[in-house]
């Protein structure tokens, strides 16, 4: 029904770096973010594999980064690359081209106003973020995650679906938390700290600090033997 406001709507083009399953999910997320003020249009997937260029995924073309930046100079870009270190390398390439980053949060996310979100961050449907939470740049929070009070997720931290983080926890840069993992709470004076580049295995229960570059698994979570 015509409501008289169509001419005030902004159309925002979005490019998605990645052409896998999560990229298709992020495309759905972007379209779901459209509201009465802004319509999000996913114009392309980006893949470095030239053999995929020209393919169509869910009615969206696949192309290369430089070609996409030239064809869609007004578009913003969001990463749909699960591996944190790879995502960081690719986003540095994007920044060098001067392409701006989108930040997407599904409308079915519950959150307080006490939330800081960095550029390029993705928050998927069904997640709950409570209060006094800081998310760095290019953080990924997948489906149905919960994040408690006073939590910090540094740049490129990544949560797979169904991760639950209690209050007073800090995740370092490029930390990856597998599906269904649980991280118990720290305290205001002594937060529980997951070091840079640590990996938390799927279904793990983290009850203590995790050193940088360490992979932990199990209940309670223990480091894998080296």
Which residues are known binding-site members? 82
Distance CA 153, CA 161 (A): 16
Distance CA 30, CA 41 (A): 7
Instruction: Tell me the pairing of strands 222-223 and 215-217.
Output: antiparallel
106 is annotated as an active-site residue: no
Structure token pair of residue 39: 């319509």
Q: For 203-217, b where at least 16 C-beta lie within 10 A, e where not — what string?
A: ebbbeebbeeebbbb
Active-site annotation holder among 106, 149, 196, 213: 149
Give the 3-state secondary structure of residue 1.
Answer: coil
Which residues are annotated binding-site positions for substrate? 82
DSSP string, 45-109: EE-S-GGGTT-EETTEEEE-HHHHHHH-TT-EEEE---SHHHHHHHHHHHHHTTPPBP-EE-TT-
Active site residues: 149
């Amino acid at each position: 029904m015509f409501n008289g406001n169509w001419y005030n709507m902004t159309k925002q083009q979005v490019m998605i770096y990645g052409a896998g399953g999560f990229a298709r999910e992020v495309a759905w997320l972007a379209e779901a973010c459209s509201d009465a003020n802004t319509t999000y249009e996913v114009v392309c997937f980006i893949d470095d594999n030239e053999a995929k260029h020209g393919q169509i995924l869910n009615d969206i073309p696949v192309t290369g980064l430089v070609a996409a930046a030239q064809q869609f100079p007004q578009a913003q870009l969001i990463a749909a690359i699960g591996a944190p270190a790879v995502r960081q390398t690719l986003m540095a390439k994007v920044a060098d081209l001067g392409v701006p980053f989108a930040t997407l949060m599904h409308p079915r996310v519950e959150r307080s106003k006490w939330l800081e979100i960095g550029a390029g961050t993705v928050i998927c449907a069904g997640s709950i973020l409570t209060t006094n939470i800081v998310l760095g740049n290019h953080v990924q929070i997948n489906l149905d995650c919960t994040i408690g009070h006073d939590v910090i997720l540094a740049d490129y931290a990544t949560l797979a679906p169904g991760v639950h983080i209690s209050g007073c926890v800090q995740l370092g840069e490029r930390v990856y938390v597998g599906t269904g993992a649980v991280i118990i709470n720290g305290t205001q004076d002594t937060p529980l700290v997951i070091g840079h580049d640590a990996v938390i295995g799927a279904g793990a229960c983290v009850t203590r600090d995790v050193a940088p570059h360490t992979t932990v698994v199990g209940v309670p979570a223990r480091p894998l033997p080296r």
